[in-house]
Structure 1
Amino acid sequence: MSAAFPPLRDELRGIEPYGAPQLDPALVPVQLNVNENPYGPSPETAADIAHAVGEAATTLNRYPDREFVELRSALAAYLNGSGGSGITPEMVWAANGSNEVMLQLLQAFGGPGRVALSFAPTYSMYPEYARDALTEWHAGRRAEDFSLDLDAARELVLDKRPVVVLLPSPNNPTGTALPPEAVTMLCEAAASYEPGGLVVVDEAYGEFRRAGTPSALELLPQHRNLVVTRTMSKAFALAGARVGYLAADPAVCDAIRVVRLPYHLSAVTQATALAALRHAPELLGRVDDLRVERDATVEWLRREGFEVADSDANFVLFGRFAERHAVWRGLVDRGVLIRETGPDGWLRVSIGTAEEMTAFKDALLETVRQTSEERPA
């Protein structure tokens, strides 16, 4: 057989699959690389989730509710108490993580001859969603402080005429939040051409934003082409359940229903998410602790001479290093796993428990003292 096997699409040949390193916790006990919430559910919450899943298990011979009406109602109620107002179940969609939500958006609104756009540095999966949906990808550049130059961003949108603009707030990996005027300006720009574009504000880390930083949910009544996505993986400490969702005009949700796979949200997933929402106050109860730990980490890194991006998320981007991989490796050798991501010279650390952050700080200082080449550039 002379042809390459298997017959993979040409543009996928040689590409490594996405994924952060997963190392043995017995060897690297402090794992601060994928922005997880370090505080798991209480025994009482875990028991309620287990009970709900047990009840769902008795129905697994049947397909789940294809429209997950109960879950959409519960998510709408949560969003209305988390920065939104007037959000109805018809305005909510959910899937297996916000990753699948994003992919469904690109499947429904992207495609050959259409453009998706964001502003780098940003979440590395965005161009992969576009690629998988056969959508042309463009990325503008953020300013030196990782904010958006609003005039330049507007001009790029008007020039490229994207059908989907992806705007994480807080941004990953920088932690930078978007001001409301940026969302409004880009929604208006994306509505000014045919066929128009959706502005998707990805608030995966929205619950961690600092006091006074508004949610884009507040702008939903003003912009029909605005979509706000959230996840239960981060603040809800439910990464293992894989539940993401969005709020948007009902017409957007109806369009996604065309491309979703049949019964895409399992009965077990729905039961888990509903039980977690019943315990939202507890699961979100450590968010304030993580905010405090984040701000303390930013202050400490700056005192030690590192450059640090302002963060509204549960992670911090810091640098700059002449050889960041050597620093990352030095931390791993000392039992601490962080993420080698973002612009050259920068590293990202997720915010863990106070004990985990102490271990990170000790390991970082030991590592940068090891050689002069590894000190901040």
Structure 2
Amino acid sequence: MDQFERLAQLPLRDDLRGQHPYGAPQLDVPILLNVNENTFGVPQDARDAILAAVAAELDHLNRYPDREFTTLRQELAAYLGHGLAEGNIWAANGSNEVLQQLLQAFGGPGRSVMGFPPTYSMYPLLASGTGTSYLAGVRAGDYGLSAESAAAQVREQAPSIVILCSPNNPTGTALGLDVVEAVYEAGEASRTIVIVDEAYAEFSHTGTSSALGLLEGRPRLVVSRTMSKAFAMAGARLGYLAAAPEVTDALRLVRLPYHLSAITQAAAVAALRNSESLLANVEAIKVQRDRIVEGLVELGLTPAPSDSNFVFFGGLEDPNAVWEALLARGVLIRDVGIPGHLRVTAGTEAETTAFLDGMRAILAG
């Protein structure tokens, strides 16, 4: 009897039967460019600050952490700007938990959440885990999403929640704020919560606007962010959101007690206080991202415009064969299951070179 047969013997919820957990391949190869991590790591000055902050908490680990993570919310509000205060901020163990709490508060049985695939594959899994129906919206043939199309779909389906991923994962493209405004207005009658998932916002091209600027006067709008990507802290698990204070009040009804550990809070606060050092690598990553785009174009492939730290590219007859050939060369990228396409994280200059050299050799062969 295999693992899934044993699982089937348990009284699992009917809607979870036959489902598979989220997860990208975790393989031991020299170059990991498959899960959009910041491959530059944490700079030494930030490392020292984080170590000191965590060490200072060790004398108090016998006590529960600040349930309201007040200092962290103050630091996050200062980092985001836009006139936000600590009352506008919420945080949890990664932006996935932030989204889960939003679905726990505003979704659930008899309610629905709409996403627009191809998009972040966790959205339907979060819906399933919270008993929320998932509605798959439709994008254009080039995977774009216009304000008119998105708004029409929201008016027709009247979802309880809409999640707009910008920059979108896996395509890397940012949405215009007109899409967010149109979706918010279209959800007025159904009192739809509109979440803009900006996990990769720091990597956007200059001039790309954040939905943070739309929060004022829109109590049903939420903007989620993460410290996993630009801050190179995927292992720390810290995601957060900005919204009207009544949204954060709603999340207090569903959060677990003391859900953010003292260690997590201390590490995140220290990182925010050293944000200049940590974010210095963002510009270097953007250079490598643009280099990947240019290199793939030279190879006759079709990379999508990217405002993120990864590149989604098509034009491949057999993407799985290319994925396997890169893996054999010690380079792991992501097969996102979209015909003719793959996705690669923008890493260091050396990692980018290894990827592009590998692609040239594979396509030439």
Residue 164 (str. 1) matches residue 161 (str. 2): yes
* 2:105 pairs with 1:108: yes
Show the counterpart of 1:151.
148
- Give the superposition deviation at 1:139: 1.1
Instruction: Tell me the SS of whatever aligns to 1:221.
Output: coil
What residue number does 1:98 align with? 95
**Which residue is 2:350 aligned to?**
355
> Is the counterpart of residue 11 in structure 1 residue 6 in structure 2?
no
Report the Cα offset of residue 21 of structure 1: 0.8
User: Does structure 2 conserve the Cα–Cα contact (< 8 Å) formed by 1:122 and 1:342?
Assistant: no
1:211-250 alignment runs, 5 A limit: 211-250=206-245
Does 59-68 or 41-50 show the bigger shift? 41-50
Counterpart position of 1:301: 296
- Is residue 173 from structure 1 mapped to residue 170 from structure 2 by the alignment? yes
Equivalent-residue separation in structure 2 for 1:290 and 1:150 (angstroms): 30
Helix, strand or coil for the counterpart of 1:111? coil
What is the match of residue 62 of structure 2? 61
Report the equivalent of 1:373: none
For residues 151 and 3 of structure 1, do their structure 2 counterparts lie closer, same or farther at Cα, with a shift above 3 Å needed? closer
CA distance in structure 2 between the aligned counterparts of 1:38 and 1:355, rounded to whole angstroms: 11
Aligned partners of 2:45 and 2:281: how far apart in 1? 16
Contact kept in structure 1, 2:289 and 2:346, CA below 8 Å: yes
Distance in 2, Cα, partners of 1:222 & 1:159: 24
SS, match of residue 115 in structure 2: strand
**In the alignment, which residue of structure 1 is the partner of 2:75?**
74
Pick aligned residue for 1:270 from 262, 265, 269: 265
Which secondary structure does the structure 1 equivalent of 2:199 belong to?
coil
- What is the deviation of 1:355? 0.5
Q: Indicate the SS of the match to 2:60.
A: coil
Establish whether residue 312 from structure 1 lines up as the match of residue 310 from structure 2: no
Mapped to 2, the partners of 1:12 and 1:225 lie a distance apart of: 29
Question: Which one-letter code corresponds to 2:51 in the other structure?
Answer: A
How many Å apart are 1:367 and its aligned residue?
Answer: 2.1
Q: How far, CA to CA, are the matches of 2:290 and 2:144 in structure 1? A: 19
Q: Distance in 2 between matches of 1:13 and 1:345?
A: 30
Please state how far the C-alpha of 1:224 moved relative to its aligned partner.
1.9
Q: Are residue 335 (structure 1) and residue 335 (structure 2) matched?
A: no
User: Shift in Å at residue 342 of structure 1?
Assistant: 5.0
Shift of 1:3: 11
Identity of aligned residues (%): 54
Q: Give 1:147 deviation, angstroms.
A: 1.6
What secondary structure, in the 3-state scheme, does the structure 2 residue paired with 1:299 have? helix
Instruction: Rate the CA distance shift 1:224–1:61 in 2: closer, same or farther, 3 A.
Output: same
Return the letter of the residue paired with 1:17.
Answer: P
Q: Secondary structure at the match of 1:54?
A: helix
In the alignment, the residues of structure 2 paired with residue 61 and residue 188 of structure 1 have an alpha-carbon distance, to the nearest angstrom, of 48
Give the counterpart of 2:253 among 243, 253, 258: 258
CA contact (8 A) 2:167 2:173 kept: yes
Of 63, 74, 85, which residue of structure 2 is paired with 1:88? 85
Q: Deviations over 1:322-364 (max 9, x none)?
A: 3211111111001000000152211000000111001001111
Q: 1:318–1:348: 8 Å Cα contact kept in structure 2?
A: yes
- Gap regions ≥5 residues in structure 1: 371-377
Q: Indicate if the aligned counterparts of 1:121 and 1:342 stay in contact, CA closer than 8 A.
A: no
Q: One-letter code of the match for 2:52?
A: H
The residue matched to 2:311 in structure 1 has which SS? strand
Residue type matched to 2:70 in 1?
V
Alignment match of 2:136 (pick from 136, 139, 147):
139
- Which deviates further from its counterpart, 136-145 or 231-240? 136-145
Helix, strand or coil at the partner of 2:134: strand
- Which residue of structure 2 lines up, in the alignment, with residue 21 of structure 1? 25
Q: Partners in 2 of 1:42 and 1:11 — Cα distance?
A: 44
Q: Classify 1:290/1:204 alpha carbon distance in 2 versus 1 (closer, same or farther; 3 Å).
A: same
Residue deviations 1:63-91 (CA, integer Å, cap 9, x gap): 101110110000000000xxxx1101011
CA distance in 2, matches of 1:31, 1:256: 35
Q: Deviations over 1:24-48 (max 9, x none)?
A: 1xxx201100111111122222121
Q: What CA distance in whole angstroms lies between the structure 1 residues aligned with 2:217 and 2:279?
A: 28
1:186 to 183, 186, 195: 183
Cα deviations across residues 241-260 of structure 1 (Å, max 9, x unaligned)?
00000000000100011000
- 2-side partners of 1:201 and 1:4: how far apart? 36
Distance 1:94 1:343 in 2: 32
2:204 corresponding residue in structure 1: 209
**Secondary structure in structure 2 of the residue aligned to 1:138:** strand
